[in-house]
Amino acid sequence: MSDDGMTLLALFQEVDPAAEAVEKLREMGVADERMNVVSGVPFKEEILGRPRVRTHVPMFALGGAIAGFALAVFLIWGVPFLYPLYVGGQPMFPVPPLLVVGFELIMLGMLTATFLGVFVDSRFPSYEPKFYVPEISDGEIAVFFDCPAGMQAKFEKAMQSLGAESVRTVEAQEL
């Protein structure tokens, strides 16, 4: 994340000071892309004053639903077309079974694609070193940001004045 400076971490216990800190960092010249807020519970972007995150998961869901329905059409109508076998008084290309199996496979396709979408969008699984501290899963809110060389003390002072529990430099580490 950083090029010539270093990465600082400001840890906050509550969400209000964290939101103030994000605004203060922006005032002090840190761009939004140079900041990363990591927390143990999800917060809406508006709460922290952060830009909206785009997610592709709903698109995966839609694609999966269409694929599932296509599979259902193949199974119910395509297979009897290729291998016709007659069974007691029912049409060769029945409609009600298509609706039943179609619904199930739409749901299956949609949800497996959604699940895969989470993996693809979040680039799971990834085990390289990352910026993370265990306090995050204890409910604290971590703000990682790039600090140009020489400005460390200034940022530290600013964060601590807003109520940060601790401010320190961090390296990317294995989780």
Give contact residues for other proteins (rule: CB under 8 A). Answer: 15, 36-45, 47-48, 50, 53, 55, 57-58, 61, 75-76, 79-81, 83-92, 94, 97, 100-101, 103-105, 107-108, 110-112, 114-115, 117-119, 121-122, 124-128, 130-132, 134, 136-140, 175
Helices (H), ranges, 28-95:
45-48, 57-73, 79-82
Minimum gap (Å) between residue 95 Cβ and other proteins? 11
Minimum gap (Å) between residue 169 Cβ and other proteins? 18
Give 88 or 150: the residue with its C-beta nearer to other proteins: 88
Give 121 or 151: the residue with its C-beta nearer to other proteins: 121
Structure tokens at 136: 């995050």
Structure tokens at 53: 């995150």
Going 48 to 54 to 57 to 61, the CA torsion angle's sign is positive
Minimum gap (Å) between residue 159 Cβ and other proteins? 19
Minimum gap (Å) between residue 119 Cβ and other proteins? 8
Give 40 or 169: the residue with its C-beta nearer to other proteins: 40
Q: How far apart are CA 44 and CA 88, in angstroms?
A: 58
Rg, C-alpha atoms of the chain: 26
Distances (CA, A) of 71 to 2, 49, 62, 111: 47, 44, 14, 15
Give 121 or 152: the residue with its C-beta nearer to other proteins: 121
- Which DSSP symbol is given to 124? -
Give 136 or 151: the residue with its C-beta nearer to other proteins: 136
Strand, helix or coil at 80? helix
Minimum gap (Å) between residue 16 Cβ and other proteins? 12
